[in-house]
A and B are shown apart, each in its own frame.
Chain A
Amino acid sequence: MRNIRIFLRVLTETTTGLKRGGWSNWLVISILAVALTIFGGVLQTTMAIKSVVSSWGSQLEISAYLKDGFDPQKVARNVSQLPDVQLVEIVPKEVAWQEMQNNYKVAALNNPLPNTLHIKLANVQAVEKTADKLKAFTSIEHIRFPLKVARNLNKVRQFLEIAGFVVTGALSAATLVVIGNTIHLVIQSRQREIEILSLTGVSPWYIKGPLILQGASYGMGAALIAGAILFCLHAYMDPYIHEQLLSFLPMNSSVMDVGLLPTLIVVLTLGVAVGAGGSAWTSGRYIKI
């Protein structure tokens, strides 16, 4: 019961702190909302592009040509045991020869084609690694895969990951600075109260708790505004992207439908975490108990 009363007092102190902030609350929330909107936009775009890259990547496949005398079913079973292998399709030499005869006017020869496996992988990063493993199979004569395409897709994927980290890091740092400075001002304005509380034996969490919750409130408020902006942008831009841009691209436009919910959850989590974290860091730095 005592702890519940203390918690309720902490909430009351948080509310008082926010009321005292007045218009400066909105200033902080606006700055944070801009940062989180940029972050959310970059995240959403990155996820959509990654989805496209991944879609292209999943269309890449490795063709493995088997030596004569090996059972294609058995080899296919062994290949399917490899990590990242999603699907192994067997093209028997007879079928391939028949197709060739149907499509091209070829001379009546003995079938020169080998049994072939078409191997689809879970992701584009695994193409080169899996190709290396297949080369070690004694049953496989030769393999073929689009090495340059795989490498380029990997580069795009790596660039997007690094860009995502850089943008997240930069915006988180900017957000931390804004929150930190705001909470520092709050600490200065409450210096007397903090000193009294500290000298009368009130627990540090009672003193720092309202400041941390205040920072978390800023982060949450900013995240909700950023979420609303992102929702509106998504609703406005999505039909345009599908109808206009993707009509030029040789792909199913549904691969860009990554959904907004994960981005909104990340924006909200990041907003609250950075808000609370920035306040906790500033409180720890400036309040010595």
Chain B
Amino acid sequence: MIRLQNIHKEYNGKSALTDVNLHIGLGEFAFLVGPSGAGKSTLMRLLYREEAPTRGTVTIGGVNITRLSRGQVPLLRRRLGIVFQDFKLLPKQTVFDNVAYVLRALGVDEVDVRRRVNSALAIVSLEDKTAEFPETLSGGEQQRVGIARAIVNGPPVLLADEPTGNLDPQTSLEIVQLLDRISQRGTTVLISTHDQPIVDAMRKRVISLKNGQIISDVNSGIYEMEALR
């Protein structure tokens, strides 16, 4: 589902990613780990085409996204769900409206919006909070709203950039378990994180980045703290 081939990314001649090769299959769940500055965020930005690689090819669902024109980028992003560390919720809109916001912007009719939003909120167990505003929710609940918004359009790929960065350990684990359940429904999930306890607890595929290079890629792995220092 996601394939990176010989990816290089440079900023002003300074290398952020060097010869990255990676394949993540349909419905797979993987962690992308590494210390700050390892290149995790750069790699994520390449996947949702916030940036283009200096060299190499990024393919999602068989489409080479490095060659997309600016006009085609929104079409790619409709096939991705993105979860952010800071949730990025609209404070003046209810939980329901936050999740429905993008569907309405895409011209989905209101009956379908209601059906899809309720379904997404049921998956994240927030069906009883539809009328609440984000400020009345806990951090974990706010992140669940963010996840509901990311999956409401039924994307085949879900990218989560440090989704537990603002959460306590217990809530973090619940959020990652929720993402795992979403993955089991057939969605490819890639989580960038440096949250060692969570990675170790899940025993999933762990792709380790250091100085812009993949230094290990292990199924049922753990966060190799020593190797990443």
In the complex, which residue of chain A has the Cβ closest to the Cβ of B101? A196
Cα-based distance from A202 to B109 in the complex (angstroms): 15
Annotate A209-222 by CB proximity to B: 1 below 8 A, 0 otherwise.
Answer: 00000000000000
- CB-CB under 8 A from A206, the residues of chain B are 105
A289 contacts chain B at the CB level, 8 A cutoff: yes
Q: Judge whether B107 and A200 touch: CB under 8 Å.
A: no
Chain A min CB distance to B32 (Å): 18
Given A195-B88, A196-B90, A202-B105 contact (CB < 8 Å): yes
Cα-based distance from A282 to B48 in the complex (angstroms): 25
> CB < 8 Å: which of A1, A9, A202 contacts B74?
A202
Query: Of A195, A196, A203, A289, which is in contact with the most chain B CB atoms at under 10 Å from its CB?
Result: A196
> CB < 8 Å: which of A9, A193, A204 contacts B104?
A9
Cα-based distance from A173 to B218 in the complex (angstroms): 60
Annotate A160-193 by CB proximity to B: 1 below 8 A, 0 otherwise.
Answer: 0000000000000000000000000000000011
Chain A min CB distance to B99 (Å): 11
A246 contacts chain B at the CB level, 8 A cutoff: no
> CB < 8 Å: which of B75, B77, B106, B149 contacts A6?
B106
- CB-CB under 8 A from B105, the residues of chain A are 6, 9, 197, 200, 202, 206
| Number of chain A residues close to chain B: CB under 8 A | 20
- CB-CB under 8 A from A22, the residues of chain B are none
Cα-based distance from A5 to B111 in the complex (angstroms): 13
In the complex, which residue of chain A has the Cβ closest to the Cβ of B88? A196
Annotate B105-142 by CB proximity to A: 1 below 8 A, 0 otherwise.
Answer: 11111000000000000000000000000000000000
Enumerate A86-114 residues with CB–CB distance to B below 8 Å. none
A3 contacts chain B at the CB level, 8 A cutoff: yes
- CB-CB under 8 A from A289, the residues of chain B are 70, 73-74
In the complex, which residue of chain A has the Cβ closest to the Cβ of B76? A201
Known A-B contacts: A5-B109, A202-B102. Give 13 more (CB < 8 A).
Answer: A5-B107, A5-B108, A6-B105, A9-B104, A193-B90, A196-B101, A199-B50, A200-B82, A200-B153, A201-B80, A202-B106, A289-B70, A289-B74
| 20 A-B pairs in the complex with CB atoms less than 8 angstroms apart | A2-B107, A9-B107, A192-B90, A196-B102, A196-B149, A198-B77, A199-B77, A200-B105, A201-B74, A201-B75, A201-B76, A201-B78, A201-B102, A201-B106, A202-B105, A202-B106, A203-B74, A204-B71, A204-B74, A289-B74
- B interface with A by C-beta (< 8 Å): 48, 50, 70-71, 73-80, 82, 88, 90, 101-102, 104-109, 149, 153
- A interface with B by C-beta (< 8 Å): 1-3, 5-6, 9, 192-193, 195-204, 206, 289
